[in-house]
Structure 1
Amino acid sequence: MEKLDDALVAADCSAYVVYASSTDADFRYLTGFQVSDPLLYLKKKGETGILVVPQMEYERAANESSAVPVTRAESGFLKFLEEEKDPWQALARTAASLAGGRVMVPRGFPYWLGKLLEEHSGVVADGDGIVRSMRAVKTPYELAAIRAAQKETETAMALGISMIRRSVPKKGVLYFEDAPLTSDRVRTAMHTYLMERGYTARDTIVSCGEETAMPHRQGEGTLLEDAPIVIDLFPQHDRSGYHADMTRTVVKGDPSPEIAEMHAVTCEAVALGESLIAAGVEGAAVHNAVVDLYKERGYESGARGFVHSLGHGVGLEVHEAPNLSPSGGPLEVGNVVTVEPGLYYPGIGGVRVENMGAVTQSGFDRFTHYTQELVL
């Protein structure tokens, strides 16, 4: 937490205050605690953070949270609530009392609570996202959690692709076990596998044919012979909170020459991006090198062709710092990033291949070890 202490000193603040539940990645990172209802977290300079909890959560927080639990009675909240008759006012007074001076709050801090807190102490917005930047550099524990998530994700991906591989084409439609194979069937099979192992997958992409020209089209309906099928899977481990992320493009049958070439060049782009990643390298430089490769092969970047950034950080959020984008800054040891180039053309379709790994001092430690083959 040294980086957070330095930010408090620089801003002349006494404490960093968060009011959120564990659906907020910063809260989960700072507390290590899973909870559905929002709680007050406060970190003073040079001290361990405290977490204000109801009495019923005290023992669990003492066992599971990295913060020191304090009951609402001990924090003064119940006394303030009795005086104010308004939980928001009581929260503001509690935070101000515990902080003992001006506080820093994250950009996602509740507006009304922030306004009330200003009446009791100065409030500074964390415009630089200090906790987000801390989250970008992973600890050995975090790296292990993401590796584990990636391993299970690859098995789930293999399950989905095996259904496509074993399907039987009938008049251009893929059939699996005597029924049309749909995006939903593949998605459900992968989700079920992951759920049984403690992972939750949401918004998984299984798109086919014309749908693949839209990078984030989730996909619906029957899967087709000779057409590109893009599968993008990014589950989160329920207990640790960490994600994996991977994408593959496959074709059952014979891909069109355009799709085959787009896929081959995209695999080159993956290899190029991975080869350029190392500590100190600008994310923008890696992205721009892939743009140049595509351009050399006759593909556009912008409204068509390569239409998105090359990659992003992965952790408690599936999209977090740092970025391999036109504005991406220097990479650091311990960053976990994706490399996911793709090409998208209406009337032809789209392809994307995505690997993930950690930035090291001298290169890229790839976590993804799954085939990139196109034709099944």
Structure 2
Amino acid sequence: MKRLDEAMEKAGAAAYVIYASSRDPDMRYLTQFVTSDPLFYIKKRGKDGILIVPQMEISRAQDEASCDALTRGDAGFFTYLEEEVSPRRAAARMVYEYVEGDIIVPGSFPLGVAEDIRSFCGVTVDADTVEAMRAVKSPRERDAIRATQEKTNEVMALAEEIIRTSTEREGELWYAGAPLTSDALRREMHCWLLRHGCTAHHTIISCGKETSQPHNIGSGTLLIDEPIVIDVFPQDERTGYFADMTRTFVKGEPSAEIQEIYDTVRDGQTLAEEMLRPGITGAEVHNAVLDLFNERGYATGDEGFIHSLGHGVGLQIHEGPSLSPRADTPLVAGNVVTVEPGLYYRKTGGVRLEDIGAITKDGFVCYTKYERRLIV
């Protein structure tokens, strides 16, 4: 919390305020409280934070939140409600009276609420401080991400087994007496994850020429002898932490071009994971992989390696730090990042491999315990 106090001091603010549900990663991070309704979290400079909740939630908040909790009544909301023109205006006054000074808020703070608070005190946006705090994971957070990744390993094994045991009919894959489509395989994976306490959305299962587009979610029947890219990024419902993983498979015989691309992407991933350590920048690692691809004849323009090497993962699927061409901030122990090189060509298809792991004082500890193999 020292970083938040420093941000307040720099802005001349008396407090940091969030108004959000636990779907907001900053709110979840600072309170560890799960709520579907937006609540106020207020941290005064030099003081511990407090969560302001309805009376019906005070007992649960006191049991579950990582900060103190106060009811809206005790914070004066209902007194101000009798004196102000609207509940939102009363809430704004409640914040001001509790803080007794100007505030800083995250970039996601609701504009209408901010405008009401501005009628009482100054409001400054600070979009970076808590995000930077979240980029360095505690042991508890790393354990949560590792646990989600263990389930991700298992659901990828399920998908691979379904593809492996499918049969061919006129170039298409069939499973359990029906065409094996992207949608059908996606449903199998999502249902398995739900049964194991995770949710997943927009899982990528693309095939053939679709794989040349990195985020093409995929549709239609999966094909024999063609690359199948599976990118799944589930969230644990209990902890809120994500994991992320991609594998590329071929049922049958891949073309020589796809096999060579796969080998190159695999080597790029190995290189990156060996380079990751505290003090190196994301740009250095990304550019080293790019250089390897160029040396192998895979120059990047509008095709090739057309995305960043990796990203942080936590309470959001994409957060800091970045492994990208302009990521010049040194990595530190506690960062959790993906390593996902890929090569994509419209006439051939694409290949991506993605692992996730933590930066430690000794290097990179990979949480993705899953073999890399193209042919299944």
- Are 1:24 and 2:24 counterparts? yes
Q: Which residue of 2 aligns with 1:204?
A: 203
Within-5 A mapping of 1:22-171: 22-127=22-127, 129-171=128-170
Deviations 1:56-95 (A, max 9, x none): 1111111111121111101111111121131221121111
- The SS at the match of 1:75 is coil
Q: Which residue of 1 aligns with 2:335?
A: 335
Deviations 1:135-190 (A, max 9, x none): 00001100000000000000000001100000111110011122111111211111
Deviations 1:346-366 (A, max 9, x none): 121011000010011231011
Distance (whole Å) between structure 1 residues aligned to residue 292 and residue 334 of structure 2: 27
Distance (whole Å) between structure 2 residues aligned to residue 79 and residue 326 of structure 1: 54
Shift of 1:9: 1.8
Q: Which range moves more in the overlay, 349-358 or 60-69? A: 60-69
Q: Which residue of 2 aligns with 1:284?
A: 283
- The SS at the match of 1:73 is coil
- Are 1:365 and 2:333 counterparts? no
Q: Which residue of 2 aligns with 1:344?
A: 344
Q: Which residue of 2 aligns with 1:176?
A: 175
- The SS at the match of 1:226 is coil
Aligned pair count reads 375
- The SS at the match of 1:41 is strand
- The SS at the match of 2:183 is helix
Q: Which residue of 2 aligns with 1:319?
A: 318
Distance (whole Å) between structure 1 residues aligned to residue 162 and residue 299 of structure 2: 33
Shift of 1:192: 1.1
Runs of 5+ consecutive residues of structure 1 not aligned to the other structure: none
Distance (whole Å) between structure 2 residues aligned to residue 81 and residue 280 of structure 1: 52
Q: TM-score, normalised by structure 2?
A: 0.98
Identity %: 52
Distance (whole Å) between structure 2 residues aligned to residue 298 and residue 176 of structure 1: 38
State the superposition RMSD in angstroms: 0.9
Runs of 5+ consecutive residues of structure 2 not aligned to the other structure: none
- The SS at the match of 2:321 is strand
- The SS at the match of 2:74 is helix
Q: TM-score, normalised by structure 1?
A: 0.98
Shift of 1:46: 2.0
Distance (whole Å) between structure 2 residues aligned to residue 243 and residue 317 of structure 1: 7
- Could you list the structure 1 runs, at least 4 aligned residues long, displaced by more than 6 angstroms after superposition: none
Distance (whole Å) between structure 2 residues aligned to residue 286 and residue 311 of structure 1: 10
Amino acid paired to 1:318: I
Distance (whole Å) between structure 2 residues aligned to residue 277 and residue 306 of structure 1: 19
- The SS at the match of 2:3 is helix
Shift of 1:302: 3.7
Deviations 1:213-252 (A, max 9, x none): 1100111111000000000000000110000000000000
Amino acid paired to 1:24: D
Deviations 1:272-320 (A, max 9, x none): 1101111111111101111111111111224211000000000000000
Q: Which range moves more in the overlay, 245-254 or 64-73? A: 64-73
